[in-house]
């Protein structure tokens, strides 16, 4: 679907980013793996190369504009083009209601989950224009459409990602760049497993009509489709992959 193209994926060292990187590689795509976790990214790079494509790891903090500029520059230096960008890196942040939410926690969540997506696109778009067009997939969430009481920063950031996606899609629709957002439900990733107890995870399962949490590979399949020419008429869209969560 994306043979001989180049994709840049942030947060590629685990979870949805890892699953997406490996799936892209299986479809013939060269992959740039951006993450702060070098050990995780190097592990994923080994899996990518097993698929017979090329790949490179870039250590980067998406909350820093210069790191975003550098990861795109490294992509262009290594592969000479950028066809796909998946802005996936994100954190959950503290759990507290708005009136008790730590200000430093707000700043960090917004910096990574929202500003990081903007910084990424700020440098990805010029590279894609130089490459003749491309596709950007931004990782939002079901919480980009609805709220939850204990995560105001995360909810605000993910709502912002959807708005940013729509605005950017309109700006570049006639210039050969498609921009879409994906809204996963609760997915079994290291981020979730690390921050929640077994009882809390069971509570989350009960919120999904399908009766289970999602898997990273299921989200990756949607990302692959949106990035490919099979979705050539799709831009400015938000697709939830959530086991029925938002249908309630």
Evaluate if residue 149 carries a pLDDT over 90. Answer: yes
SS (H, E, C) 16-57: HHHHHHHHHHHCCCEEEEEECCHHHHHHHHHHHHHCCCCEEE
Residue 208 has a CB neighbour count (10 Å cut-off) of: 18
CA separation for the pair 42, 225 (Å, rounded): 25
Fold for 6-239, please state it.
Answer: Rossmann fold (3.40.50)
CA distances from 216 to 33, 101, 189, 222 (A): 16, 29, 7, 10
Evaluate if residue 195 carries a pLDDT over 80. Answer: no
Evaluate if residue 1 carries a pLDDT over 90. Answer: no
Domain boundaries, the chain: 6-239
Evaluate if residue 140 carries a pLDDT over 70. Answer: yes
CA angle 91, 92, 97 (to 5 degrees): 140
167-193 confidence digits (pLDDT tens): 999 999 999 999 999 999 999 976 677
Q: C-alpha 102: how far from its chain's center?
A: 25
154 is catalytic: yes
What angle do the packed helices 152-172 and 103-110 form, to 10 degrees? Answer: 30
81-102 confidence digits (pLDDT tens): 999 999 999 999 999 999 999 9
Write down the catalytic residue from 101, 154, 172, 239.
154
- The per-residue pLDDT of the chain, averaged, comes to 96
Residues 133 and 172: beta-carbon distance below 8 Å: no
**In the chain, which residue ranges form alpha helices assigned H by DSSP?**
15-26, 38-50, 65-79, 103-110, 116-131, 152-172, 190-195, 198-205, 216-227
At 192 the pLDDT is 73
CA separation for the pair 206, 213 (Å, rounded): 9
CA separation for the pair 47, 25 (Å, rounded): 9
Torsions phi, psi of 32, nearest 5? -100, 120
């Amino acid at each position: 679907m994306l043979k001989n193209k180049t994709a840049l994926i942030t947060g590629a060292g685990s979870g949805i980013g890892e699953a997406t990187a490996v799936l892209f590689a299986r479809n013939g795509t060269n992959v740039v793996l951006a993450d702060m976790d070098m050990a995780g990214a190097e592990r994923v790079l080994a899996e990518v190369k097993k698929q017979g494509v090329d790949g490179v790891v870039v250590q980067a903090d998406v909350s820093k504009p210069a790191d975003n500029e550098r990861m795109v520059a490294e992509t262009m230096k290594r592969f000479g083009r950028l066809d796909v960008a998946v802005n996936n890196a994100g954190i959950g942040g503290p759990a507290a209601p708005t009136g008790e939410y730590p200000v430093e926690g707000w700043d960090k969540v917004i910096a990574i989950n929202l500003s990081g997506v903007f910084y990424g696109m700020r440098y990805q778009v010029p590279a894609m224009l130089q490459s003749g067009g491309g596709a950007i997939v931004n990782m939002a969430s079901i919480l980009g459409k609805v709220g939850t009481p204990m995560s105001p920063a995360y909810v605000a950031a993910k709502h912002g990602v959807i708005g940013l996606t729509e605005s950017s899609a309109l700006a570049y629709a006639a210039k050969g760049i498609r921009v879409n957002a994906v809204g996963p439900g609760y997915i079994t990733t290291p981020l979730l497993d690390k921050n929640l107890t077994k009882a809390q995870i069971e509570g989350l399962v009960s919120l999904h009509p399908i009766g289970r949490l999602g898997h990273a590979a299921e989200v990756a399949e949607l990302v692959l489709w949106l990035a490919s020419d099979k979705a050539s008429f799709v831009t400015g869209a938000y697709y939830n992959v959530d086991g029925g969560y938002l249908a309630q």
